Chains A and B, each alone.
Chain A
């Protein structure tokens, strides 16, 4: 692994067991997360972002399974990197990492807490587990955490139940739980999608402060490129289980090369058009189902630059436009060849 890379995904494949039939969901993705950076994973709903993020901590539900690839993690203690794929699914090794060195927050703050236990109980559980803290210590730390994420009257909130919290407060609670053991990586799966626009901005601001003040590395998943510009350093654009374009935020926004990235960027609503923010409606057609994956480049039926017998024949190989900018599209393979001539 490279020097400052702490999490590296290599050629990860995930399949869905559908009544005994193996349906590919994620088809060989690669990315790296460097210390202190935020990597955004972007794509329309259903492209495999959540599945990918869950796979990182080996949290996939029964019907989904990693078929090949590596997930290498470099712990802060300087020991040799661990490949999570080689670990037992709910074994001791991966459990010591979950919530401790890598934490995760989810899209649905409303359903991410158990309704029968207090917020304090559920956050304290992680603290007592990993930090071997006593009940009282865990409680004190929980109050501190709740305060840190901006929950008013944390000493009272710690004994409250999730239904007494608003959506925004619950997501703050989730973030508090994720921060409990000072993880080196935070995986955030659409942390603001389910929230109202103003609350969205507040939660995003909270995450941005975490990055700026604490140097937290994050994998930030979203379908909203507008959000990406505000928080991420690097972006990977996903389409039907593949990363089609990847690079630094400035490069991708300023010099998008994949037709899909271009359409996504065009779909960002202008300022003041907040109500349309959540939808990426203006791309022609819709994402095909997993069971009708188009051959070749999966985006070709919706692509304005579709080239017959090329795009629908085989998946485009990776083209490195620069050391930091990669794209999977035949347009660029052709351009590269021309340049070489």
Chain B
């Protein structure tokens, strides 16, 4: 077991290293660089800069050197000093920028995850046990609609409804008066009042998908021989359901929790942009558009880190939950 964890951990670090190279290369792939996009802006503002100024700027920023030199510097600073570089656009350290907004992204992602599981598990099981009942049909229909609605559309609908019925300014995560206020209890309440909209937007499709999966796998398990064998022992239907088929059906679903974390984290930026949330979503988009290299690279790296950590968590859960895999892990 301990060997397994160490094993996976080493893989995790290696993957992270590989991902950092890919992220760095990808960020540099689009034609042009930050200097170009800066020059462009100046041009549009009616104050073009000279070719000499441009070269100077390139030299100052270090982007005239070969990519591997830039990469080496970036990574060594990051590992040795926790410094992820400097955002030229914001003229602030990347660590600060991400640090300010990441907690909100995480809050959004984890709230979404919790909502997904809390809603999907009971409904999925209920639909399976009462297969083809009216309730089952209703949940199925709602689920299909939920799956089929694009997130941005759902966001717009909810924002409209929120404004219309609750008189709320649902864009963003705070009402204007709390926007820059220090943390206080009313501010937390205010956050909660706003948070449900992006959480619902981000979680609906995933919840609908989870319900389908749980329903199908529970149905599968209900027909298995071991369920009848357990019934033949005299156990009550409810205990039977929870101890055997549900436990079995939830196994893969709990075990993929980490992958689902990945899913919500990677879905978050779009929702963040559509709803203009003060989280990492808009930050990431602008960094990409402006070729703000270190900020964009840092963001990619953070998103990937969550994916990799998510996978690590999933692997661990799988091993903890299934004795068969646990055994292989030991062997």
Contact = CB atoms under 8 A, between A and B. Distances in A.
Contact of B234 (A95, A108, A111): A95
A90 B229 CA distance: 14
A82 to B, nearest CB: 15
A98 B237 CA distance: 13
Nearest to B221: A114
Contacts of B224: 111
Interface string B223-241: 1111011111111110000
A114 B248 contact: yes
Interface residues of B, number: 24
Contacts of B244: 114, 117
A112 B225 contact: yes
B232 A116 contact: no
A285 interface: no
Nearest to A92: B236
Contact of A108 (B225, B235, B236): B225
A129 B232 contact: no
Contacts of A164: 327
Interface in B200-256: 223-226, 228-237, 243-244, 247-248, 251
B225 A125 contact: no
A306 interface: no
A163 B234 contact: no
Contacts of A125: 230, 233, 235
A228 interface: no
B248 A59 contact: no
B233 to A, nearest CB: 4
B89 interface: no
A132 B240 CA distance: 17
Contact of B228 (A59, A115, A126, A174): A59
B229 to A, nearest CB: 4
Given A96-B234, A98-B234, A161 B229 contact: no
B322 interface: yes
Interface in A49-75: 54, 57, 59, 61
A177 interface: yes
Question: What does DSSP make chain B's interface, helix, strand, loop or mixed?
Answer: helix
B65 interface: no
A75 to B, nearest CB: 14
Contacts of A36: none
B225 A111 contact: yes
Contact of A106 (B229, B236, B247): B229
Given A95-B236, A106-B225, A116 B322 contact: yes
B225 A99 contact: no
B234 A174 contact: no
A260 B52 CA distance: 103
A220 interface: no
A116 B230 contact: no
B30 to A, nearest CB: 49
Contacts of B322: 115-116
B324 interface: yes
Nearest to A174: B229
Nearest to A96: B234
Nearest to B226: A114
Contacts of B226: 111-115
B217 to A, nearest CB: 13
Nearest to B247: A116
Contact of A98 (B223, B233, B248, B321): B233
B234 A104 contact: no
B124 to A, nearest CB: 18
A142 interface: no
A163 B322 CA distance: 11
A174 B235 CA distance: 16
A77 B247 CA distance: 37
A112 to B, nearest CB: 4
B323 interface: yes
B89 to A, nearest CB: 52
Interface in A185-229: none
B323 A104 contact: no
Contacts of B248: 114-116
B185 to A, nearest CB: 44
Given A111-B225, A116-B251, A103 B232 contact: yes
Given A116-B247, A130-B234, A54 B323 contact: no
Contacts of A112: 225-226, 229
Contacts of B324: 115, 161, 163
25 contacts: A61-B223, A90-B231, A90-B237, A95-B235, A96-B234, A98-B231, A99-B234, A104-B229, A106-B229, A111-B226, A113-B229, A115-B226, A115-B323, A116-B323, A118-B323, A125-B235, A129-B234, A129-B235, A161-B323, A161-B324, A161-B327, A163-B323, A163-B324, A163-B327, A177-B233
Interface of A: 54, 57, 59, 61, 90, 95-100, 103-104, 106, 108, 111-118, 122, 125-126, 129-130, 161, 163-164, 174, 177
Given A95-B236, A98-B233, A161-B327, 18 more contacts: A61-B223, A99-B234, A104-B232, A106-B225, A106-B228, A111-B224, A112-B229, A114-B230, A114-B244, A115-B226, A115-B323, A116-B251, A116-B323, A117-B243, A125-B230, A163-B323, A164-B327, A174-B229
Interface of B: 223-226, 228-237, 243-244, 247-248, 251, 321-324, 327
